[in-house]
Amino acid sequence: MRIKGNLAFEGTNYHGWQVQNNGVTVQQKVEEALSKITGEDISVVGCSRTDAGVHAINYCISFDSDTSVPLANLPLAVNTVLPPDIRFYSFENVSQDFNARYSAMSKTYIYKTVCNRVLSPFMNNHAYHFPHKVNIDDIKTASKCFLGTHDFSAFMATGGSQKTTVRTVNSLLVYETDGILNFEINANAYLYNMVRIISGTLLYVGCGKIGVNDIPCIIESLDRTKAGITAPPEGLYLKEIFYE
């Protein structure tokens, strides 16, 4: 049977989601735990290839299993053999054609930034420390330029393997909570480091390094060198995945 699982993870200790030879990954730990509990050789499909240090509030996987463990009990069982920075919330039966990655209609990411002079030790590895004053009104105005369907080549790091660089941004919210500046973006799909580059560009708008009215020209240029920095991974969180 095809199973869908929902989990969260704190990504500081991992080299991203996808299994690789040069470091421990979240997928590796998840497959090891599921295989141990079910007694099967489990291989999972993840909804997103998150980078090293990136976190997930809600991450989705799919896999096939004939386990006899009731799905209502499976989260607690699997969590007992997972490290404490990875936790499953639920499992459910889904149709055989469901794929955690390719069935996704859109995904929402949040990028968290602290713009104070001093970063609280409790935010270390959980937000980007950008110790500059920013104009949030300018950031909000510039953020609207990203909405809609565009070629986002200027906001893509090298190393991606996508067939097209055209993406549709459905929403981009800018708001503050408890001293944290949040960029919350929903899109149908993302280019490599797209959210982190958009976030870095908006921070540059906020501190005056890039003009508010420059964003449309940067998008049209398709030139990565004209956009802002690639904000570091510790501020990025996968928030939600939407399926039809």
In the residue annotation, 138 being an active-site residue is answered as: no
In this model, does residue 80 exceed pLDDT 80?
A: yes
**Whether residue 70 is found in the same domain as residue 187:** no
Q: How many domains does the chain have?
A: 2
Q: Is residue 103 part of a domain?
A: no
Whether 151 is covered by a domain: the verdict is yes
Residue 7 has pLDDT above 90, yes or no: yes
- Mean residue pLDDT of the chain comes to 96
- How high is the pLDDT of residue 21? 87
pLDDT tens, position by position, 18-63: 999 889 999 999 999 999 999 999 999 999 999 999 999 999 999 9
Q: Are 132 and 59 in a shared domain?
A: no
pLDDT in tens, 162-200: 789 999 999 999 999 999 999 999 999 999 999 999 999
| Within a domain: 194 | yes
Token pair, residue 151, equals 């070629």
Q: What is the pLDDT of residue 85?
A: 98
Does the pLDDT of residue 230 top 80, yes or no?
A: yes
Q: Looking at the structure, do residues 217 and 114 belong to the same domain, yes or no?
A: yes
| Domain, as residue range, for 167 | 110-236
| Final residue belonging to a domain, choices 94, 119, 153 | 94
pLDDT at residue 189 in the model: 94
- Domain CATH for 14: 3.30.70.580
Choose, from 41, 51, 85, 97, the residue flagged as catalytic: 51
This prediction has a pTM of 0.95
The band of 157, judged by pLDDT with boundaries at 50, 70 and 90, is very high
Regarding whether 219 and 130 lie in a shared domain, the answer is yes
Burial of 88 (0-12, 13-18, 19+ CB in 10 A): buried
pLDDT at 219 over 80: yes
Q: How far apart are CA 133 and CA 240, in angstroms?
A: 30
Radius of gyration of the chain (CA): 19
The predicted model gives 102-130 an average pLDDT of 96
| pLDDT confidence of residue 244 | 85
